Structure 1
Amino acid sequence: MSVTPTIDQPRLTVIGTGYLGATHAICMAVLGYEVLALDRDHAKIEALAAGVVPFHEPGLPEMLRKALDSGRLRFTTDVAEVAAFGDVHFVCTGTPQLPDSLGADLSQVEEVLRSLAPYLFRPCLVVGKSTVPVGTAARLHGILQAAAPCGSDVELAWNPEFLREGHAIEDTLHPSRLVFGVVSERARRLLEDTFRPLLDAGVPTVVTDLATAELVKVAANSFLATKISFINAMAEVCETTGADVSDLASALAYDDRIGGRFLKPGLGFGGGCLPKDIRAFIHRAEELGTGQSVSFLREVDAINQRRRRRTVDLVREQAGGDLRGVRVCVLGAAFKPHSDDTRDAPALDVAAQLHAAGAHVVVFDPQAIENARRSHPQLEFAGTALEAAEGAQVVALLTEWDQFRGIDPRVLGRVVGARAVVDARNVLDAGTWRDAGWRYRALGRAAAA
């Protein structure tokens, strides 16, 4: 999808060139808009300007080259240049969990607005895409108008993102929906001009107030996290009763009211969004006096954490009851396949717990090794799955990369020290592995008789 630029098109800026910001800037330029992206990290800006994407996302390097070649995408570290250039400024900075609280750290978003506002001398629209607690946008709107020379001629809107890592291009160019949180008709019209190609393609759009737009993203993530934790709670019951959680999930999925998406039993969710978003939602609801309404999310989070501990228990069982000195091959470090993101990655958390219990842990991941090495230097890392499995007494599949799904158990069996596997993502064919001489265990499934 692309369009021919017209004189009516707003010029766009994107502030923050992490996963969200870089993807948004690249895709909007490919759609035909003039885009200027800003980040204070000079090395990141230089890499992007040279055509190098500093994270793994399928297809994005090719899209970046297309955007750069078009001449519509540029990068800068100068906030004054951004303010002078843009009609619409997208704020795409992170909102990580605070180190000593469940709440969200809004310092990056606030810093962007405070640094940008003094340079806003003409009418424009600032659009938040970051995930923030409800009520944040209304507060920031007042701060923005008070600090900007153009006063009330600058407005704040909220346009939450719904990117799935590994599918970010598709989710940007062909989103399931657009949400516009606005305070005026002028802001709505400017957002419609900004997303005209998507609107013309029939993308559903919800125009609402700031608070509702803020809630959409966190409510969606809370629902998905709840669905994942529900099936994993059923996995706990299945392990106790001898039932099979994969068969249970398949049966539930035929009910149209439930559906099969996100009803996948296994190690649970991680990454930079779901865990911190549901915790921030709990925190904000308690601040507002409505904490009881989302108290169930505490159990959602707890179920998710228990899956990690249960995986460690299964590895210990496969090792004979004691992990001290046991060589364990961990397949996976990223929180999900098609990503190099290791933030709150269940695989690395399990690997670290195994290491703390005395195991000799060797990790392989197709994309996330460098990020994993930086965050978990105590672990050993290998260059291939077979190298990681050399002499291993237990193999633990913790991230469901396609290449792990397709591993031949007979080939792997030739290099390990013992044929014992823990399938924490329920992606291997238990019969095939058992026929190849492996002791197979998976979350939510009883041990074979």
Structure 2
Amino acid sequence: MQISVIGCGYLGAVHAACMAELGHDVVGIDVDAAKVASLSAGRAPFHEPGFEEILARNIDAGRLRFSTDYADLADAQVHFIGVGTPQVPGGYAADLQYVDAAVDSVIPYLKAHPDGPTLVVGKSTVPVGTAAALAKRIAAAGDGVHLIWNPEFLREGFAVQDTIAPDRIVYGVPADESAARASQAVLDAVFADLLERDIPRLVTDYATAELVKVAANSFLATKISFINAMAELCEATGADVTELAEAIGFDDRIGKKFLRAGVGFGGGCLPKDIRAFMARAGELGVDQALTFLREVDAINDRRRDHAVELARRAAGGTFLGKKVAVLGAAFKPDSDDMRNSPALDIANTIAGQGAEVVITDPAAGPKLAELRPDMTVAEDAHAAAAGADVVMLLTEWRQFRDLDPVALKAAVRTPWIVDGRNALDPAAWRAAGWTYSGIGRP
């Protein structure tokens, strides 16, 4: 099928390449000429395992191209909207200007298709009620043009896998039954390879489809903040949060995933999605239903402050004249995304309180050095730790989890490590002569 993907950031570029990988003829549209040039040359503008390989493979095969000209999508039957919905400046609500601009730009090219209806397929995370409003604008383009909301569930570091082999596919379809059936048939053809593998497909109304992503992210954020709240209690009582998490995780109603205490969540999705969810609940007059998310957000922020205090204690009560090595800048491993990164936030706070901070990250390091010339970025953990009074592990890259504590001790001035992700073996580091501080661990 001929497909367009509007917006070639993280979501859109991965989706475009993966649709081409499934055999479709895909054009990606973006207003950023530099981004389009990079993608057209087969160069990924962000770090995502496996993405650059399928990008280059499908460009070479002629199934994938990128453009800044909306006229290049005129022949497509299916148009995916994959633009960002950041927080509005100074508020919690989602900024829909990029979604609105994408829809306005595609409407002049929408027309009935000989093989069934033409679809606009929303993938961006939007406040509930957005799809219904957009559907009215799209319907005005003419008969045989419909909107489906098909939320994305990408995890950074696993985005290719999550697109080609998702754990579920959700369609939010029009209320009109004939339009819903015809639209569903077209999108089923797009995802035919996935559906043949018995990946679950759920067909809902617009509002339910819009809520799925934000509800899922809110649940995950709540689970992370819950175990971090338990870490606060463990530190007050001498209990071990890692053992507590393991014990409650055996209950299959709870499960072990996302029960690792640490410096909290960050990135471009969870923080802004739960805040936009709260803002939308307020607009709908049901803000009390989501007041618990305010505490989820507050617990998350407190963990960053706590990590700073652990480092201050390790530094002897003051950062003045002390060197702190920070391992990690991205908000999670296998990504170079530093949006709302706990690691970078903690590093900035410590530097602002007088420490000499040296930071290293396998993927985000070069980008950080370019964006923040005021920060000292080292090539690797050993270079960052040279002469350090405190070492902080804040992004659990495998390179950092696998560090040899004996070898690293030879580089530092004071062997004290703050494990902000509870990713290291305390016994091994203590045996090597380190003072080990974890989150919610004795």
Q: TM-score, normalised by structure 2?
A: 0.96
Corresponding residue number in structure 2 for 1:366? 362
- The 4+ residue runs of structure 1 with deviation greater than 6 A are none
- Residue by residue over 1:157-186, the C-alpha shift from the partner in whole angstroms, topping out at 9 and shown as x without a partner, is 100000111111111111000000010211
Q: Is 1:154 aligned to residue 145 of structure 2?
A: yes
| 317, 327, 330: which one aligns with 1:321 | 317
Q: Distance in 2 between matches of 1:356 and 1:26?
A: 41
Task: Kindly state the Cα deviation for residue 375 of structure 1 after the two structures are TM-superposed.
Answer: 4.9
**What does residue range 111-190 of structure 1 map to in structure 2 within 5 Å?**
111-123=101-113, 124-146=118-140, 148=141, 151-183=142-174, 184-190=180-186
Correspondence 1:22 to 2:17: no
Q: Are residue 291 (structure 1) and residue 282 (structure 2) matched?
A: no
Look up the equivalent residue of 2:391 and give its one-letter code: V
Q: Which amino acid is the alignment partner of residue 124 of structure 2?
A: S
What is the Cα-based RMSD across aligned positions, in Å?
A: 1.0
Give the partner amino acid of 1:93.
Answer: V
Shift of 1:145: 2.5
Deviation at 1:17, TM superposition (A): 0.8
Shift of 1:121: 3.2
User: How many angstroms does 1:372 deviate by?
Assistant: 2.6
* Per-residue deviation, 1:301: 0.5
- The whole-number CA distance in structure 1 between the counterparts of 2:263 and 2:152 is 25
Please give the alpha-carbon distance, in whole angstroms, between the structure 1 residues aligned to 2:374 and 2:45.
24
Match of 2:75 in 1: 85
Matching residue within 417, 420, 426 for 1:424 = 420
Looking at structure 1, the residues matched to 26 and 137 of structure 2 have their Cα atoms a distance apart, in angstroms, of 25
Deviations 1:224-263 (A, max 9, x none): 0000000000000000111000010111111111100011
Give the alignment partner of residue 214 of structure 1, picking from 210, 215, 239. Answer: 210
- Counterparts of 2:164 and 2:422, CA distance in 1: 32
Separation in 2 of the partners of 1:220 and 1:320?
42
Q: How does 1:324-339 map to 2 (within 5 A)?
A: 324-339=320-335
**Count of residue pairs the alignment pairs up:** 433
Percent identical = 57
Within 5 Å, which residues of 2 pair with 1:349-428? 349-428=345-424
Structure 1 residue 376: Cα displacement = 4.1
**Equivalent position SS for 2:358:** strand
CA drift of 1:326 comes to 1.1
CA contact (8 A) 1:335 1:342 kept: yes
Which residue among 185, 192, 196 is the counterpart of 2:192? 196
State yes or no: 1:40 paired with 2:31. yes
Contact persistence 2:84–2:99 (CA under 8 A): yes
1:179/1:208 contact within 8 Å kept: yes
| Secondary structure in structure 1 of the residue aligned to 2:147 | strand
Alignment of 1:95 onto 2:104: no
The SS at the match of 1:426 is: coil
CA contact (8 A) 2:112 2:143 kept: no
Which residue identity does 1:21 align to in structure 2?
G
Give secondary structure in 1 for the equivalent of 2:28: strand
Aligned to 1:282: 278
Alpha-carbon offset, residue 379 of structure 1: 2.0
CA deviation map 1:369-409 (0-9, x unaligned): 13333554432111111111011000000000001011111
Return the TM-score normalized by structure 1: 0.95
The residue that corresponds to 1:3 in the other structure is none
The answer to whether residue 432 in structure 2 is matched with residue 433 in structure 1 is: no
Long gaps (5+) in structure 2? 175-179
Q: Quick one: distance in 1 between partners of 2:24 and 2:330?
A: 33
Distance 1:211 1:56, change over 3 A: same
Q: Which residue of 1 is the match for residue 338 of structure 2?
A: 342
Return the alpha-carbon distance in structure 2 between the equivalents of residues 432 and 398 of structure 1.
19
Structure 1: stretches of 5+ with no match in the other structure: 1-9
Which digits, 9 at most, give the CA deviation of each residue in 1:322-356, with x for residues without a partner? 11121000000000000000000000000011011
Alignment partner of 1:107 is 2:97: yes
Give the structure 2 partner of residue 253 of structure 1.
249
Partner of 1:238: 234
CA apart distance, 1:317 = 0.3
Contact 1:341 1:371 in 2 (8 A): no
> Partner of 1:73 in structure 2?
64
In structure 2, distance between residues paired with 1:65 and 1:351: 36
Corresponding residue SS for 2:306 = helix
Query: Secondary structure of the residue that 2:16 maps to in structure 1?
Result: helix
Report the counterpart of residue 4 of structure 1 in structure 2: none
Asked whether the equivalents of residues 15 and 38 of structure 1 are also in contact (C-alpha less than 8 Å), the reply is yes
